[in-house]
Amino acid sequence: MASNPSVQVQVAQGRALASRRRRERLHTGLTYLILGVSAVILGMPFFWMATTALKPIQEVVIYPPRWLPSEIRLENFVEAWQAAPFDRFYINSVVTGVATTLLQVLFALFMAYAFAFIAFPAKNLLFLLVLSTMMIPVEMKLVPNYLLLKELGWINTYWALIIPPAAHAFPVFVLFQQFRTLPRDLLDAATVDGATHVQTLLRVVAPMSRPLLAAVALVSFVGRWNDYLWPLIVTNKVAMRTLPIGLAYLKETQEGGNRWNLLMAGTIFVVAPILVLFIFTQKQFVEGITRGAVKG
Amino acid sequence: MAHRQTHGSSWHRNRRNWLTFLAFVAPNFLIFGVFTYWPILYSFYLSFNRWNFLRPTMEFVGLRNYARLLQDEYFWEVVGNTFTYTFSVVLIAQFLAFLLALALNRKVPGQPFFRTVAFTPHITTTAAAALVWVLLLDPQMGPLSLIYNALGVQGPRWLVSTTLALWAIIIVGIWKEIGFSSVFFLAGLQNINRDLYEAAMVDGASTWHLFRHITVPMMTPIMFFLMVSGLIQAMKAFDVVAIMTEGGPVYPASATYVYHLYQLAFRNFRAGYASAFAMFFFVAIIVITLIQVRMSEKWVQYGE
């Protein structure tokens, strides 16, 4: 108790610093451990998909399996492409994916603008009606929608793949949230200049929201590309199928042969465009997904 | 006179605005009306009928579809499966995602790479991912067999086991969900005010204390959001089942609710009964959401 208090403090500080450093190192080690294990587990399917797609069939069925192919067999891709009409699947996926995305964003742009800036009676109630569609799963509308599309003669057409999913509450909600934060003065100035709502929307609001529009479009496109259930219901001809269902078709036709190298090549056909898109637009993409969720 | 004029012109202006509003919201509302609102009413109507999609007339059966549903063994089994799937995926994925987010929140070299890897499963086509997982879980061809081999054990045949098939589907669900949830947790962690930690550290709080009394409470709104959206998302699981097991190996061992709904409607052609199934699902989603909103009032801490 007699020792100098300032020395005591120094010693204590030194000890605290050392223990903090030790803890820091421990934390970094732990961080890399968690990240490494996660990356291996989360990335394993991609690794196995890629290596299997390149293996000759003997190396696929061999036990125990090999991590890497001994020779790279690119013919797998050619054979997979020929085993099912992948050219059709691609055209169907790209055309319906792009068209639906454009319509979704366009319709959402106008609707979000109307809800954000134009006065109308009972607007809140109408907005709730829009949001409520997010609560209603596609799954529970399958039977009536199928009947309706049959009545319209839309089964096995692009109409069925494009029009019903073209209205979506999610982009409306995300854009609406953004529009509310735009400075009112700017819009008022445009109105004073005698601009109509269409002009204000296209010349002021839309250009200011361009990054978000891109983000919303990305999320929409990936959602359409990956969709399995809707195209499964509204098409039944092989030539009208989209890529995910085309892959299931490839699986059925290859089932007996267990030609997993071809199946994995087919899988790459389906996921590669999305992965490439994601890698180049990651920021906007994550932005688009998180925007609708986190308030304010 | 002057008063009337302004009144008249404001009415005129309103009418113009109202018409513009209607024109702007028309495309979406038209599509919602035809392909969402109307189908729900029609589903409701169908659920009181018996119909096989082909006969020209339906047979009105009142509540019989609903009564049958409660006695249907398959119904209870797929409800059970869906519960197991949904809660396992949401709880396990949330826990792991939180852990991952804590690791991602430390700015170590290589962090962006790990973030990309973590998020990629979420954007990967589910049907395609499910197909890869069939191969991964294969006791002979998959990489797991190397582990079994090293341990000298016989690996389980996930997809032909009545108990494990559902868990194979759950694993894929978790795999897809972790990165998605961790992005939200990470955003939440980065939003926590550093001053809170500094202040608590001055008061001599331990790391565990900081975590327990600052980090976790601040994350509850995000946990809540992820749970609601995750539960609803998981309840709708379809693609994974369709690709991996088709509800097998002995139906409905791994069939989820929506998968069974699809079977009833588009394989057994029981339009009325399937619609009763759909209505039940609809009510369940609303009830779960309401329960969660009520619960959140108790344990979610919003704001600073």
User: Position B264: which residue type?
Assistant: L
A91/A180 same-domain check: yes
What is the separation, in whole angstroms, between the first and last Cα of chain B?
56
Query: Total domain count for chain A?
Result: 2
Instruction: Put residue B270 in one of left, alpha, beta given phi > 0 → left and psi -120 to 50 → alpha.
Output: beta
Residue A163 lies in a domain: yes
Average pLDDT over residues A117-132: 90
A140/A287 same-domain check: yes
Average pLDDT over residues A288-296: 60
Residue listed under structure tokens 């797609």: A53
Average pLDDT over residues A37-53: 94
Residue A61 lies in a domain: no
Within 13 Å, how many C-alpha atoms sit on residue A178's CB side? 27
Mutate to test the interface with A, among B28, B226, B228 (most CBs of A within 10 A): B28
What pLDDT was estimated at residue B298?
Answer: 65
- Gap between the Cα atoms of B168 and B133, Å rounded: 8
Q: Domain holding A192: CATH number?
A: 1.10.3720.10
What pLDDT was estimated at residue B300?
Answer: 62
What pLDDT was estimated at residue B10?
Answer: 59
Q: Give ∠ CA B193-A219-A226 in degrees, rounded to 5.
A: 130
Contacting B residues, span 132-191, partner chain A, CB-CB under 8 Å: 132-133, 135-136, 140-143, 145-146, 149, 175, 178-180, 183-184, 187
A33/A130 same-domain check: no
Residue A134 lies in a domain: yes
Question: Is a pLDDT exceeding 70 seen at residue A176?
Answer: yes
A14/A93 same-domain check: no
Average pLDDT over residues A24-47: 92
pLDDT tens column, A100-116 = 999 999 999 999 999 99
Domain of A25?
Answer: 5-54
Smallest Cβ–Cβ distance between B103 and the set A34, A197, A293 belongs to A34
A148/A236 same-domain check: yes
Confidence of residue A20 (pLDDT cuts 50, 70, 90): confident
Question: Is a pLDDT exceeding 60 seen at residue A94?
Answer: yes
Q: In this complex, do B125 and A144 lie within 8 Å of one another by their Cβ atoms?
A: no
A110/A251 same-domain check: yes
Taking only the tens of pLDDT, chain B with its 304 residues reads 444 444 555 566 688 889 999 999 999 999 999 999 999 999 999 999 999 888 888 888 889 999 999 999 999 999 999 999 999 999 999 999 999 999 999 888 888 899 899 999 999 999 999 999 999 998 888 888 888 888 888 888 899 889 999 999 999 999 999 988 998 899 888 888 888 888 888 888 888 888 888 888 888 888 888 887 888 888 888 999 999 999 989 989 999 999 999 999 999 999 999 999 999 988 888 888 788 777 766 656 554 3
Query: What is the Cα gyration radius of chain B?
Result: 26
- Please give the residue that has the higher pLDDT: either A189 or A224: A224
A95/A43 same-domain check: no
Size of interface A-B (CB pairs under 8 A): 272
What pLDDT was estimated at residue A257?
Answer: 58
A111/A182 same-domain check: yes
What pLDDT was estimated at residue B301?
Answer: 57
Q: In this complex, do A167 and B28 lie within 8 Å of one another by their Cβ atoms?
A: yes
Q: Give ∠ CA B276-B33-B69 in degrees, rounded to 5.
A: 5
Residue A59 lies in a domain: no
What pLDDT was estimated at residue B208?
Answer: 84
Strand-pair partners of B50: B59
Determine the length of chain A.
296
Question: Is a pLDDT exceeding 80 seen at residue A269?
Answer: yes
Residue listed under structure tokens 């209607």: B22
In this structure, is the dihedral angle defined by the CA atoms of residues B107, B110, B112 and B117, taken in order, positive or negative? Answer: negative
Smallest Cβ–Cβ distance between A278 and the set B100, B120, B128 belongs to B120
What pLDDT was estimated at residue B299?
Answer: 59
Q: Do B244 and B159 form a contact (C-beta atoms < 8 A)?
A: yes
What pLDDT was estimated at residue A256?
Answer: 56
Mutate to test the interface with A, among B40, B134, B141 (most CBs of A within 10 A): B141
A48/A81 same-domain check: no
What pLDDT was estimated at residue A77?
Answer: 94
Partners of A243 on chain B (C-beta within 8 Å) are 125
Give the CATH number of domain B64-299; options: 1.10.3720.10, 3.30.360.10, 2.160.20.10, 3.40.50.300.
1.10.3720.10
Partners of A293 on chain B (C-beta within 8 Å) are 184, 225, 229
What pLDDT was estimated at residue B3?
Answer: 46
Residue A143 lies in a domain: yes
- Gap between the Cα atoms of B21 and A111, Å rounded: 8
Partners of A104 on chain B (C-beta within 8 Å) are none
**Can you give the residue ranges of every domain in chain B?**
2-37, 64-299
Smallest Cβ–Cβ distance between B21 and the set A34, A118, A248 belongs to A118
What pLDDT was estimated at residue B75?
Answer: 94
